[in-house]
Amino acid sequence: MLQNQCEFIDVKRLYTIITTLRDKSPLVHNITNFVVMNNTANALLAIGASPAMIHAIDEVEDFVAISQALIVNIGTLDSVWIAACKLAAIKASNIGIPWILDPVGAGATPYRQTAASALAQLKPTVIRGNGSEILSVAQQAGEGRGVDSLHGSETALNAAKHLAKLTKGIVAVTGAVDYVTDGTQVAEIHNGHPLMTRVTGLGCSATAVIGAFLAVEPNAFTATVTALTFFGVAGELAAERSPGPGTLQIALLDTLYALDEATFSQRALVKPYVN
Amino acid sequence: MLQNQCEFIDVKRLYTIITTLRDKSPLVHNITNFVVMNNTANALLAIGASPAMIHAIDEVEDFVAISQALIVNIGTLDSVWIAACKLAAIKASNIGIPWILDPVGAGATPYRQTAASALAQLKPTVIRGNGSEILSVAQQAGEGRGVDSLHGSETALNAAKHLAKLTKGIVAVTGAVDYVTDGTQVAEIHNGHPLMTRVTGLGCSATAVIGAFLAVEPNAFTATVTALTFFGVAGELAAERSPGPGTLQIALLDTLYALDEATFSQRALVKPYVN
Amino acid sequence: MLQNQCEFIDVKRLYTIITTLRDKSPLVHNITNFVVMNNTANALLAIGASPAMIHAIDEVEDFVAISQALIVNIGTLDSVWIAACKLAAIKASNIGIPWILDPVGAGATPYRQTAASALAQLKPTVIRGNGSEILSVAQQAGEGRGVDSLHGSETALNAAKHLAKLTKGIVAVTGAVDYVTDGTQVAEIHNGHPLMTRVTGLGCSATAVIGAFLAVEPNAFTATVTALTFFGVAGELAAERSPGPGTLQIALLDTLYALDEATFSQRALVKPYVN
């Protein structure tokens, strides 16, 4: 009989990490896209982190050096921003600051695919994307199979495991179910709500929230699982009391700010994935 | 006795186009300004479209090629962005993708006037602006009359008709009353609410919503009328239950998401304009 | 016995300036950061101003020339934007348009420190920052003391007075208590709410609101005191009815829009500071 590959996930333990984040208020450096900068900053403030959005090639390295985590999101990339992303990521790796890559739209154009792949090769602590993005990045980072032959969440999970092994990091595939893997163990999270797909940039916010948890929890797998469970629980609570996506965007920030242990524990649906 | 120049506008028919948009969820490529990117993306998601904000000169042409419509908005233009706008617009025209121009602030500075005029000369499927913007663009695209001699909505309508003939496209002038023209026929829409002028970028959102409807309705005049009626009805409903512009911004997204046929039909105030 | 250094602050008089702003709706030119552009524009619209976000080096000077005030905020600076900030600030000074500098993050990196210092040397009508930012800018503009030796709000106030004398302008240090000084007289404002620190860019919005008041009130000290009192009262009213930072952001705009004289007068806590 197969053992769980994944360590037992203790929701009570996850909440202590949320409390630690609120207590420590880490400085989180974001290089992210224009669409979500405001929401991302507000999500980070709501959970208790201290965000900064800094992209100039003249200062990103200096700013990484005073931060506790780095977020790299290529949503509205151009050649100057990609250079800044690379400089910041290399600096973070060199001085031991955790960093997360959000390869927004990887695969949509050759330019975007090249940029996402180049950043993935800098070995992020975590990569978070939707199924298509992870499939696209995994292909570039490795086997060269056509994206067309890769589809469905089971396949995205295999690509995620493959990518995690290549980068020696954590990969998260988010969607109706979120998966987190280090290449061997996998956790799955069943929180969230379909209305969340009608608000722009909630995936980007999830990435930023993971980044903040990386700043306070040295185990990147645990940090990622905590972040996605927290974000999913807050999202579904917010969605349940929202008549539409406008209200959801606001209610999500209120919920991230106020979510307590009893509600978190009651709602969290996270467990080891067994193949 | 004069016939209506404009075909009878059937509100029931307009609502079927709204339903088509929700069903098809077209990919809409936006090159828009920093101020409104988030709101525009959220307005497009709320109505059921799939927005992307992509501006790099290295990928705009590739992205237009996979999109169903293109939005070009010059709000926070600079020389690099204008080049991207032109590349994207030319690509869209060449491969038959509908595109809409929002000449934000045309006439405010010589630089902005030149940019707006150059883009108008690329023959957008639709141009949408307020009275001043349409007057400014019309002047540049044609007769060279001073803007000072052109004022009032009646004059803006004449400029709009003139501009529509020059571009062989549709021109929409929005304000207390919205006018849509192809140079000959004109429709007028009496929906909307004064509080909408206190929220930034609702004109930009209206432009984006028109763009989304161009992706699913081949008659650009009908698509534009549908979009502005839909947006105006949603805006007035949202404004009526808002104590101020903050709430309006959120309520508008909720209403765009949830507006049903009965409410739309009851509220829509759209008719042929008779000179 | 010491006289008050500061003229008597008449709350009734401050409210007349708020009314003037709503009546005149000045055009306010903003060069600000990507994170807050939307919120800043909405805050300016809510108080009755007419905002524009314009940053291209090809048009900032022309746009300053048609504006009634200029906001310069270095939040997401890079070399091109700093050049635009300088061109706009020089133009404003040359033609007598009031302008305000928000030295976001001054001192965090050498690059940011240099940029903030260079702009401060262009003698803004007003500089607004938090304690750390004002301490950093004051050091560069003058004495060269290490930032480490400068801490606490009393010291920030001394730095503010010093900086005001150097720039021959007004300096505002905002925080739990806001101070406004011209180098000699000081006013203190005790409005606001701790939850405001959990919404991104409210400091930037405060800066923009000051800028709008500079457009209608020739006494820059009075304009700054009016703006910060107005913003603080609106912020605390909004916070008191908000379960979290999401709602606060929206409620603030509603309150800025609707705040009446009775409520303002009852809440305003502004007085001369006596050392």
- Is there a domain that residue A191 lies in? yes
Residue C126 pairs in a beta bridge with C100, C170
- Measured between CA atoms, the residue of chain A closest to residue B80 is A78
Residue B126 pairs in a beta bridge with B100, B170
Q: Which chains form contacts with chain C, at 3 or more CB pairs under 8 Å?
A: A, B
**Cβ atoms < 10 Å from Cβ of A151:** 12
Report ipTM (2 d.p.): 0.93
pLDDT tens for C85-114 read 999 999 999 999 999 999 999 999 999 999
The token pair that represents C167 in the structure block: 């720039």
Interface residue of B73, B78, B130 to substitute, partner C, most C CBs within 10 Å: B78
**Host domain of residue C73:** 24-272
- Which residues have a Cβ under 8 Å from the Cβ of B182 and sit 6 or more positions away? B164, B169, B170, B220, B221
Chain C residues closer than 8 Å to A53 by CB: 33-35, 75-76
- Is there a domain that residue A72 lies in? yes
- Is there a domain that residue B3 lies in? no
Which stretches of chain B score pLDDT less than 50? 1-7, 142-151
C-alpha closest to that of A102 among A8, A207, A217:
A207
Give the CATH number, domain containing residue A173.
3.40.1190.20
Chain center to CA of B100: 7
Alpha helices, H only, chain A: 11-24, 37-47, 60-64, 79-95, 110-120, 131-141, 153-167, 202-214, 220-240, 245-258, 261-267
Chain B residues closer than 8 Å to C27 by CB: none
Q: How many domains does chain A contain in total?
A: 1
Contact call for residues A172 and A193 (beta carbons, < 8 A): no
pTM of the model: 0.94
Q: Do B55 and A76 touch (CB under 8 A)?
A: yes
Confidence of residue C141 (pLDDT cuts 50, 70, 90): low
pLDDT in tens, chain A (275 residues): 333 333 457 999 999 999 999 999 999 999 999 999 999 999 999 999 999 999 999 999 999 999 999 999 999 999 999 999 999 999 999 999 999 999 999 999 999 999 999 999 999 999 999 999 999 999 855 444 443 444 556 679 999 999 999 999 999 999 999 999 999 999 999 999 999 999 999 999 999 999 999 999 999 999 999 999 999 999 999 999 999 999 999 999 999 999 999 999 999 999 998 86
Q: Do C53 and B36 touch (CB under 8 A)?
A: no
Percent of chain C with pLDDT over 90: 89
The burial of C13, by beta-carbon neighbours within 10 Å (0-12 exposed, 13-18 middle, 19 or more buried), is given as exposed
**Cβ atoms < 10 Å from Cβ of C180:** 32
Chain A residues closer than 8 Å to B42 by CB: 199-200, 245-246, 249
Confidence of residue C274 (pLDDT cuts 50, 70, 90): confident
Distances (CA, A) of C48 to B132, B208, C209, C212, C258: 20, 26, 10, 9, 10
pLDDT of residue B142: 47
Q: Which residue among C34, C252, C254 places its CB closest to the CB of B34? A: C34
- Is there a domain that residue C46 lies in? yes
Contact call for residues B124 and B167 (beta carbons, < 8 A): yes
- Is there a domain that residue B172 lies in? yes
pLDDT of residue B8: 56
Q: Do B201 and C62 touch (CB under 8 A)?
A: no
Query: What average pLDDT does range C131-142 have in this prediction?
Result: 83
Q: Do A62 and C109 touch (CB under 8 A)?
A: yes
pLDDT of residue C154: 65
**Cβ atoms < 10 Å from Cβ of A83:** 12
Confidence of residue C148 (pLDDT cuts 50, 70, 90): very low
Chain center to CA of C220: 11
- Is there a domain that residue C264 lies in? yes
pLDDT of residue C140: 56
* Residue whose tokens read 């499939």: A135
Q: Do B199 and C45 touch (CB under 8 A)?
A: yes
A42 vs chain C: nearest CA distance in angstroms?
A: 6
Q: What is the CA radius of gyration of chain B?
A: 17
CA A155/CA C85 separation, integer angstroms = 50
Distances (CA, A) of C226 to B98, B105, C5, C58, C179: 49, 30, 18, 34, 12
Chain A residues closer than 8 Å to C243 by CB: 254, 258
CA C158/CA C135 separation, integer angstroms = 9
- Is there a domain that residue C32 lies in? yes
Q: 3-state SS of chain C?
A: CCCCCCCCCCHHHHHHHHHHHHHHCCEEEEECCCCCHHHHHHHHHHHCCEEEECCCCCCHHHHHHCCCEEEEECCCCCHHHHHHHHHHHHHHHHHCCCEEEECCCCCCCHHHHHHHHHHHCCCCCEEEEEHHHHHHHHHHHCCCCCHHHCCCHHHHHHHHHHHHHHHCCEEEEECCCEEEECCCCEEEECCCCHHHHHCCCHHHHHHHHHHHHHCCCCCHHHHHHHHHHHHHHHHHHHHHCCCCHHHHHHHHHHHHHHCCHHHHHHHCCEEECCC
Distances (CA, A) of A249 to A241, B236, B251, B254: 11, 21, 11, 10
A45 vs chain C: nearest CA distance in angstroms?
A: 5
The token pair that represents B200 in the structure block: 């930034």
Q: Do C63 and B108 touch (CB under 8 A)?
A: yes
CA B143/CA C79 separation, integer angstroms = 40
- Which residues have a Cβ under 8 Å from the Cβ of B38 and sit 6 or more positions away? A35, A36, A38, A39, A200, A201, C38
Q: How far does chain B reach from its first CA to its final CA, in angstroms?
A: 13
Chain A residues closer than 8 Å to C254 by CB: none
Q: Do C201 and A38 touch (CB under 8 A)?
A: yes
Q: Give the residue numbers in B contacting A (CB under 8 Å), as ranges.
A: 34, 37-38, 41-42, 45-46, 51-59, 62-63, 66, 80, 249-258
- Measured between CA atoms, the residue of chain A closest to residue B27 is A108
